[in-house]
Amino acid sequence: MELLSIDFLGRPLRLEGSMAGWQELYWDNQVVSQLVADSERSESSSHHFQLHKGEEVLHCELSVDLAWQPFIFNYQVKLNGEVIDQGSRNSKDIEQQTPFVAPKPERRFSLIGLVSLGMKMLKSAKMIKVVLASASIAAYSWLFSFQFALALIACLVIHEYGHVRAMKYFGMKTKGIYLVPFLGGLALSDEKINTRWQDVVISIMGPMFGFLLSLLLMLVYWITGEIFFAGLAAFNAFLNLFNLLPILPLDGGHVLKSISFSMNSQMGLIVCTAAAIGGIYLSYTLGLSLLGFLLIMGTLEILMEWRYRHASHLLPLDRYGQIVAAVWYVLLVAGLVGIIWYFAQSGDTLLQLPLQILGT
């Protein structure tokens, strides 16, 4: 990831590095210094290089103090032994930076990914939103009723609005919400995220808004006694719980990937694996077989990619961020499962359907 980018002698001086310990220093997009991967390296390091100005040899030095968790970066630049620039950076600076080299998108084949690509190609046409929304209403009306289809569309929009609000919180420009028949919705932005914390918050706020909506619908059901609101609350909770499954590109996959990939030590991986095993055991104990099976698949996917975590341009979560993200995720999953379980106890066949699917 990009740690520093400043002007030096009229050209950009840029430092790339990772938690694995490697660092590469570029001047005018040419590598002038390298440090090989070494996870045991101390927080302080120096880059020495020479530049030629006519017949004159310039002796240059970049000294850095780097702590990853919490992220603190202090630097000092010297020219012929004289300090000409110094400063510090924190995680907020990383969030707001625009990388000099755009990160390469992950090559992943998925239907949702293809649809997302198609939406990005058409995002400038406002009419496409209307067409997709109409197609979604028609599709869900065919499966359920027109009234339930409209309510379901409203649930999807509120879920995606949670993503949009999180994007705007981080100062990102959004391109709106697109509804995709039978696949849900998409909240799009052209801007890239720079930190794992941004990825966690943007990913989890969709299901969080969905959870709050289910609580509101539950309250309306208690007041009115209308079974329609109970069914909508249960199905909305189920849809948002599905989005929290630890499978990419679902929201839960992004959250758990950000947590596990921020753990630099083998002990971190062990703790993450133990937590996943505990979740799998609990799922099967409660009879949520489908949830347990998908948790196994998602955990295996994350474990297989864990070795490549240092190739990411995203600033990892610090210890506090890892704990907050994990607790937030677990409590949100528990809350959604609780809503589904509550309505399943009513004895109504329709309200029991979400729990029956989870127990398949």
Q: Which option is the CATH number for 2-96: 2.40.128.180, 3.40.50.2300, 1.10.540.10, 3.30.70.580?
A: 2.40.128.180
pLDDT in tens, 85-100: 999 998 888 887 776 5
Q: What is the pLDDT of residue 160?
A: 86
pLDDT in tens, 270-292: 666 676 677 677 666 766 666 66
Element (H, E) at 87: strand 82-90
Residue-by-residue pLDDT tens, the chain, 360 positions = 888 888 888 888 988 888 777 888 998 888 888 888 766 667 888 999 898 888 888 899 999 998 877 788 899 999 888 999 999 998 888 887 776 554 444 444 444 454 555 545 444 445 444 444 555 556 555 555 667 777 777 888 888 889 889 988 888 887 766 666 545 566 667 667 888 899 999 999 999 999 999 999 999 999 998 888 888 898 889 888 888 877 777 788 888 888 877 876 566 566 666 766 776 776 667 666 666 666 676 667 666 666 666 667 778 888 888 889 989 998 999 999 899 889 888 777 777 777 776 666
Longest dimension (CA), the chain: 88
Q: How are strands ordered across the β-sheet holding 82-90? A: 44-53, 56-67, 72-79, 82-90
Whether 337 contacts 241, CB under 8 Å:
yes
CA neighbor of 193 nearest in space, from 108, 15, 14, 315: 315
pLDDT in tens, 49-107: 898 888 888 899 999 998 877 788 899 999 888 999 999 998 888 887 776 554 444 44
Tokens of 147: 């009234």
Q: Provide the terminal-to-terminal Cα distance of the chain, rounded to the nearest Å.
A: 42
Q: What is the pLDDT of residue 216?
A: 95
Which amino acid, residue 293? F
Residues of the chain with CATH 2.40.128.180: 2-96
Dist CA 232 CA 218 (whole Å): 9
